[in-house]
């Protein structure tokens, strides 16, 4: 009995609930929503928009290829004719839902740090290529290995040259002649002997005969078979072009000596980075082959042409190398610290909508009101971009969800243009009603 009573109670409860909800549904069936009723009475659709492609519109209700109804588009109740075209009004709830964030434009100074891959090379100003001034044979090669470090004026080799021997003989004859005629009472003869001796000595100097060997010749009055060739600079021997016993001419490169106490470093920077660099900028360099050490130098030269393949511009950096740690052909990473300062209005670069022909930014003109503004941009660095025209200091700009706002702005602008077209066109429905009345009036007959 108890189970039967429980079953009857459950059935009765279900029946009462069905009757209650059914009555509520039938009572509201066919009753329009008050809000929709107000909308239908107070607002008239301007046109209908394809729900899948907002740019496709229709002046009358329609369906798309998937059977979906076009969405009606109404005129804004709070529209202001003075607002610029494309101004968007979004309520706070919608702004929060689509993630609209803003930032304030400020007048400040910006800098840029440029990073590039570089290559170490010789300092061309401290290179010496040694060639003999006369023909001859190498008698002794004192520096015979590349990579050796030599001091300035160090003896590199000894050379035998018949021309040098004859020049020494001429100088000795000139000295003997000067010795014989220096007491002559005739001044012209004495002066001529002095000029002859001076010119003979000068010829030896022009042949790169070292000073110590000329003094030795003057003191001993003995002709020397071999004459020395000295290095004019201190540095490292990077090339040897002759060996002992070899016949050489002035075209033969005997040695190439490079001073590695300073090195040049070449780096490539892109065209858009050119405005940020100038001569004298400080540069820091690190190398994988010298871990834990940072070298400091400066930007020494900017080449006046661009590379055709890479569309980059080569710059030359100078570094001191007293410990000879930097070796030519090593690869390095450089950081050019530009001290460029620009006092201008700066906004986050993510706020800019770049369309190719022009750049736009949405400015907050009032709570929920966003106005598109055409801007002219300047330098960009570290996520910030300088605005030359269009934005003032203190303006609030949209930095996120601006593409959604831009899409709505384009649609609003298209809507306004369509409204203007509709206002200028005659009301076709009124004309049709008038024609119908005329036709009916002409066909009316008395019964």
- Locate the domains of the chain by residue range: 1-31, 42-74, 88-108+342-424, 113-123+259-337, 132-253
Residues contacting 64, CB < 8 A, separation 6+: 50, 51, 52, 56, 70
Residue 251: pLDDT band with limits 50, 70, 90: very high
Look at residue 318 and tell me whether its pLDDT is greater than 90.
yes
Look at residue 78 and tell me whether its pLDDT is greater than 60.
no
- Give SS3 for 418: helix
- pLDDT, residue 351, reads 83
Q: Are 294 and 284 in contact (CB under 8 A)?
A: yes
CA–CA separation, 40 vs 74, rounded Å? 10
CATH class of 113-123+259-337: mainly beta
Q: What is the DSSP letter of 390?
A: S
Q: How is residue 127 written in tokens?
A: 């290179």
- Give SS3 for 132: coil
- Counting Cβ atoms within 10 Å, is residue 428 exposed (0-12), middle (13-18) or buried (19+)? exposed
- pLDDT, residue 49, reads 75
Q: CB 253: neighbour CB atoms within 10 A?
A: 14
* 198-223 mean pLDDT: 90
pLDDT tens digits, one per residue of 354-401: 876 788 888 888 887 778 888 888 777 778 888 888 888 888 888 877
- pLDDT, residue 42, reads 54
CA–CA separation, 116 vs 215, rounded Å? 55
Q: For helices 162-181 and 187-206, what crossing angle results, to 10°?
A: 160
- In sequence order, which ranges of 29-122 are alpha helices (DSSP H)? 34-42, 92-98
More reliable by pLDDT, 163 or 90: 163
In the predicted model, what is the mean pLDDT of the chain?
A: 79
Q: Looking at mean pLDDT, say which of 61-70, 98-107, 255-264 comes out highest.
A: 255-264
Q: Minimum mean pLDDT among 149-163, 171-185, 240-254, 305-319: which range?
A: 171-185
* 242-252 mean pLDDT: 93
More reliable by pLDDT, 151 or 58: 151
First CA to last CA distance, the chain? 82
Look at residue 257 and tell me whether its pLDDT is greater than 70.
yes
* 110-118 mean pLDDT: 86
Look at residue 55 and tell me whether its pLDDT is greater than 60.
yes
Looking at beta carbons, which pairs linking 350-354 to residues 24 or more positions away fall under 8 Å?
Answer: 350/383, 350/399, 350/400, 351/103, 351/397, 351/398, 351/399, 351/402, 352/377, 352/385, 353/402, 353/403, 353/406
CA–CA separation, 118 vs 326, rounded Å? 12
Q: Are 276 and 338 in contact (CB under 8 A)?
A: yes
- pLDDT, residue 77, reads 43
Considering only CA atoms, give the Rg of the chain.
47
CA–CA separation, 346 vs 394, rounded Å? 10
Residue 258: pLDDT band with limits 50, 70, 90: very high
Residue 275: pLDDT band with limits 50, 70, 90: confident
- pLDDT, residue 291, reads 92
More reliable by pLDDT, 412 or 56: 56
CA distances to 18, 90, 103, 263, 331 from 328, in Å = 93, 62, 49, 8, 9
Q: CB 186: neighbour CB atoms within 10 A?
A: 9
- pLDDT, residue 321, reads 94
Look at residue 200 and tell me whether its pLDDT is greater than 60.
yes
- pLDDT, residue 107, reads 87
* 408-435 mean pLDDT: 51
Q: How is residue 222 written in tokens?
A: 């003995």
pLDDT tens digits, one per residue of 208-218: 888 888 999 98
**What topology does CATH give the domain 88-108+342-424?**
2.40.420
Q: Are 187 and 180 in contact (CB under 8 A)?
A: no
Look at residue 416 and tell me whether its pLDDT is greater than 80.
no
- pLDDT, residue 303, reads 94
Q: CB 120: neighbour CB atoms within 10 A?
A: 23
Q: Are 127 and 256 in contact (CB under 8 A)?
A: yes
Look at residue 313 and tell me whether its pLDDT is greater than 90.
yes
pLDDT tens digits, one per residue of 21-39: 455 444 444 444 443 443 4
Look at residue 428 and tell me whether its pLDDT is greater than 50.
no
- In sequence order, which ranges of 120-210 are alpha helices (DSSP H)? 162-181, 187-206
SS3 content of the chain, % helix, strand, coil (to 5): 30, 35, 35
Q: How is residue 115 written in tokens?
A: 């990073």
- pLDDT, residue 443, reads 44
For residue 140, what is the enclosing H or E element?
strand 136-141
CA–CA separation, 2 vs 158, rounded Å? 132
Of all residues in the chain, what percent carry a pLDDT higher than 70? 73
Of all residues in the chain, what percent carry a pLDDT higher than 90? 31
Could you give the dihedral angle defined by the CA atoms of residues 201, 206, 211 and 212, in that order, rounded to the nearest 10 degrees? -90
Q: Looking at mean pLDDT, say which of 56-70, 258-272, 327-341, 386-400 comes out highest.
A: 258-272
- pLDDT, residue 362, reads 84
Residue 328: pLDDT band with limits 50, 70, 90: very high
Q: Where are the beta strands (DSSP E) in 321-409?
A: 331-337, 342-348, 353-354, 359-366, 369-381, 384-389, 396-400
CA–CA separation, 440 vs 437, rounded Å? 5
Residues contacting 268, CB < 8 A, separation 6+: 116, 117, 307, 310, 312, 313, 314, 315
- pLDDT, residue 3, reads 61
**269 DSSP β-pair partners:** 313
- pLDDT, residue 101, reads 82
Q: Are 330 and 314 in contact (CB under 8 A)?
A: no
- pLDDT, residue 38, reads 38
Q: CB 60: neighbour CB atoms within 10 A?
A: 8
CA distances to 168, 183, 223 from 162, in Å = 10, 33, 11
Place of tokens 């066909």: 443
């Amino acid at each position: 009995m108890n189970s039967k009573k429980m079953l009857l109670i459950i059935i009765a409860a279900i029946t009462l609930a069905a009757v209650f909800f059914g009555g509520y549904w039938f009572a509201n069936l066919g009753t329009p929503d008050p809000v929709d009723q107000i909308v239908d009475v107070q607002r008239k659709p301007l046109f209908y928009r394809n729900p899948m492609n907002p740019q496709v519109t229709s002046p009358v209700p329609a369906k798309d290829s998937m059977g979906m109804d076009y969405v009606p588009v109404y005129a804004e109740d709070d529209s202001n004719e003075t607002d610029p075209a494309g101004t968007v009004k979004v309520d706070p709830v919608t702004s929060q839902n689509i993630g609209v964030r803003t930032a304030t434009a400020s007048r400040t100074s910006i800098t840029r740090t440029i990073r590039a891959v570089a290559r170490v090379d010789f300092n061309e100003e401290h290179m010496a290529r040694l060639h003999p001034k006369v023909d001859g044979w190498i008698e002794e090669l004192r520096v015979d290995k590349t990579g050796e470090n030599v001091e300035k004026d160090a003896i590199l080799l000894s050379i035998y040259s018949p021309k040098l021997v004859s020049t020494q003989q001429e100088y000795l004859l000139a000295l003997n002649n000067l010795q014989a005629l220096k007491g002559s009472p005739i001044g012209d003869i004495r002066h001529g002997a002095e000029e002859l001796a001076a010119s003979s000595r000068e010829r030896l100097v022009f042949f790169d005969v070292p000073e110590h060997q000329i003094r030795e010749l003057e003191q001993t009055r003995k002709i020397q078979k071999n004459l020395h060739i000295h290095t004019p600079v201190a540095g490292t021997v990077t090339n040897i072009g002759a060996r002992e016993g070899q016949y050489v001419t002035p075209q033969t490169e005997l040695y190439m000596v490079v001073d590695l106490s300073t090195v040049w470093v070449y780096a490539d920077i892109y065209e858009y980075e050119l405005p940020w660099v100038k001569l004298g900028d400080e540069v820091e360099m690190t190398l994988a082959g010298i871990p834990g050490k940072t070298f400091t130098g400066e930007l020494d030269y900017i080449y006046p042409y661009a590379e055709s393949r890479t569309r980059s511009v080569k710059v030359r950096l100078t570094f001191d190398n007293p410990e000879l740690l930097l070796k030519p052909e090593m690869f390095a990473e450089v950081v050019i610290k530009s001290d460029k300062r620009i006092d201008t209005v700066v906004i986050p670069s993510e706020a800019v909508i770049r369309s190719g022909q022009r750049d736009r930014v949405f400015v907050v003109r009032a709570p929920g009101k966003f106005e598109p503004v055409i801007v002219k941009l300047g330098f960009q660095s570290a996520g910030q971009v300088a605005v030359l025209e269009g934005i003032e200091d203190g303006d609030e700009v949209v930095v996120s969800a601006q593409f959604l706002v831009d899409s709505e702005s384009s649609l609003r602008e298209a809507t306004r243009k369509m409204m203007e077209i509709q206002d200028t066109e005659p009301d076709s429905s009124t004309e049709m009603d008038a024609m119908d009345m005329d036709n009916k009036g002409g066909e009316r007959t008395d019964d």
